[in-house]
A and B are shown apart, each in its own frame.
Chain A
Amino acid sequence: MKKAYFGQYGGRYVPETLIPALEELEEAYEKYSKDPDFIDEYQGLLKDYCGRPTPLYFAERFTEYLKGPKIYLKREDLNHTGAHKINNALGQVLLAKRMNKKRIIAETGAGQHGVATATAAARFGLECIVYMGAEDIRRQALNVYKMRMLGAKVVPVYSGSQTLKEAINEAIRDWVTNVENTHYVIGSVVGPHPYPKIVRDFQRIIGDEAKIQILEKEGRLPDYIVACVGGGSNAMGIFYPFIEDKDVELIGVEAAGKGLETGQHAASLTTGKVGVLHGSKSYVLQDEDGQIQLAYSISAGLDYPGVGPEHSYLHDEKRAQYVSITDEEALKGFELLTKLEGIIPAFESSHAIAYAMKISPSLDKDKIMLINLSGRGDKDVDSYRELNREVIE
């Protein structure tokens, strides 16, 4: 397999201007990821700044309710800034600092990656610019406010869908123009090589910890691991350390939005075809002429028309299976976990919760399921309130 690829997926489909920056990044990552000082500083930040390791929590009432396997939640929602995104943002900003880059740019959909990057940039005193679709700015006002408090400049993007896809286009254009003093912190396992590998490596801490924790608690590995997939960084983070453990079923949950048949969804692996978007080859939602389609999900963090190339590879190899959950199902997951466990999950993570609800009743009680609770739902409470749903008793 070529180093920039996962099977036929990945690569560096970018304007020539960016190639030197990608080569510089690859070289710096090779060097610092093996440098004990860098590793110590990063691990120290994860421990004392992020609050790692995050707990692996046995969701007793949720398990009892579903009458299926024992369900554990990997509590990435308990990280500083409220999601797994901080693991990667800190790693990349630390790398940027070592590379003497003065300016950090990022893009964000739900705002969690933007907040995480703005936080890491503030921590290291670097200038930070975050591109965000105008529609997402509306949906995620609280996170926009936080980013500004943290000193980041939030730039609204009005073109196209006014969501994450256009924000990434704009961030790449900024990067092409300012590549010499700027590091682009990509927020998921997407983009040109080496980003999918770097982001995966910074997120594999989730799976590494989960493996140790489940062995401590249960003395064996889980039977199922369930995680939501937009670009796929939380899923890749928890899947990766288990890939060689063939008995562990890896399940990625995409957003089916208003239903796959409506065309309003974000299920790139379930319904997309192979294409090139944002610098890499992967499964992409596109029309008959190869124009990238707009993705839709109630969760601003999942409505992305592509997916990380390594997920495409795992999909083709059948090492992981990819399924989808509608907005309505995700909302039920959001409500049930809140009610039964006192944990308000992010809309993104609610997709994983909802899939667990769907399959658990038909699975054996002696099985173990691990769900990656990628983020907390504070940011989504306003959106939920606007839906005016009846609170379940």
Chain B
Amino acid sequence: MNKINEVFKNNKALIIYVTAGDPSLEATKEIILELNKDGVDIIEVGIPFSDPLADGPIIQRASQKALKNGVTLKKIFETLDEIKENITCPLVLMGYYNSILNYGIDNFITDAGNTGISGVIIPDLPFDEEEEFYAKIKENGIDPILLVAPNTSEERLKEISKVCSGFLYCVSIMGVTGDSQAPIEHLKEYSQRVRKYIDLPLAIGFGIDSPEKVKNIIDYFDGIIVGSALVKIIDENSDDKAKMLKEIKSFIKSLKIW
């Protein structure tokens, strides 16, 4: 059984997103180690991109900062390689397709494999584009984690179930990351509708920023994904690393209410 399946076997999962290179790759290393220590179940490492269509202002800004710092996909792999022995939870890469296309699909698969990456999330690559890409990463032991939205049709849910593995990323709202109005109502119905077609753990993300929200939705999903709220904490404390790590620790603790 691969690492992501293992996570969901007996428990719900807390999945945390962090933008690689914000405020620096050195800091990202420490943040990932901290998250791992704090009991985060899966860490999503964001590959910064100049034109992130699915992201709101917080992650956009973090990406721009990282790019200004000269972060590249190659450097991200090198950074993750340095700490892979010390990370026990699965690492998932989240990024836009142009980064991977430009890196070269075979190079990407090789380096992701060497770095111990368990899954890949690409918000602008639906299952019916580049089908061979998703098939290929799966053959190489990496889970293609696909997204569904509240308006995804039943036909597409059926098709997505054939491609996706690891867990399914349920977008909580019609919108972009960090939207504080999320999640939508009727989450119970949303989760039930998706489960009818997809037999995978369901994780919900976009706009999940407080323990109160987690409390309201945790019964319906197998995992909670938090991104912008943590990126905001990193941004607000980027001058004081010790405080940043402390704030992260207490935020994670407050979210894991199960």
Contact = CB atoms under 8 A, between A and B. Distances in A.
Interface string A148-161: 00000000000110
Given A12-B126, A169-B51, A173-B56, A289 B73 contact: yes
Contact of B53 (A11, A12, A172, A289): A172
Contacts, number: 106
A180 B151 CA distance: 9
Interface of B: 49-54, 56, 60, 64, 67, 72-74, 96-103, 123-126, 128-129, 146-153, 156, 171, 174-176, 179
Given A160-B64, A176-B175, A177-B175, A16 B98 contact: no
Contact of A17 (B56, B73, B128, B174): B174
Nearest to A284: B98
A12 B131 CA distance: 13
B116 to A, nearest CB: 22
B151 A173 contact: no
A241 interface: no
A16 B99 contact: no
Contact of B97 (A173, A276, A289): A276
Contacts of B103: 290
**B interface SS class:** loop
B157 to A, nearest CB: 10
A12 B153 CA distance: 16
Contacts of A159: 60, 64
Nearest to A5: B129
B51 A165 contact: yes
Interface residues of A, number: 33
Given A15-B147, A176-B54, A290-B49, 20 more contacts: A12-B129, A15-B123, A16-B152, A16-B156, A17-B149, A19-B126, A160-B51, A172-B53, A173-B56, A173-B176, A176-B174, A177-B176, A177-B179, A179-B151, A179-B174, A274-B101, A276-B98, A276-B124, A291-B50, A291-B67
Nearest to A286: B102
B55 to A, nearest CB: 8
Nearest to B48: A291
A14 B97 CA distance: 10
Nearest to A280: B129
A168 B162 CA distance: 33
A273 to B, nearest CB: 8
Contacts of A20: 151-153
A169 to B, nearest CB: 5
15 contacts: A14-B126, A15-B53, A17-B149, A159-B64, A165-B51, A169-B53, A274-B101, A275-B102, A276-B96, A276-B98, A279-B53, A288-B102, A290-B49, A290-B98, A290-B99
Tell which of A177, A274, A290 has the most Cβ of chain B within 10 Å. Answer: A290
A291 B175 CA distance: 23
Contact of B98 (A19, A286, A288): A286
Contacts of B175: 17, 176-177
B184 to A, nearest CB: 12
A56 to B, nearest CB: 39
B50 A160 contact: yes
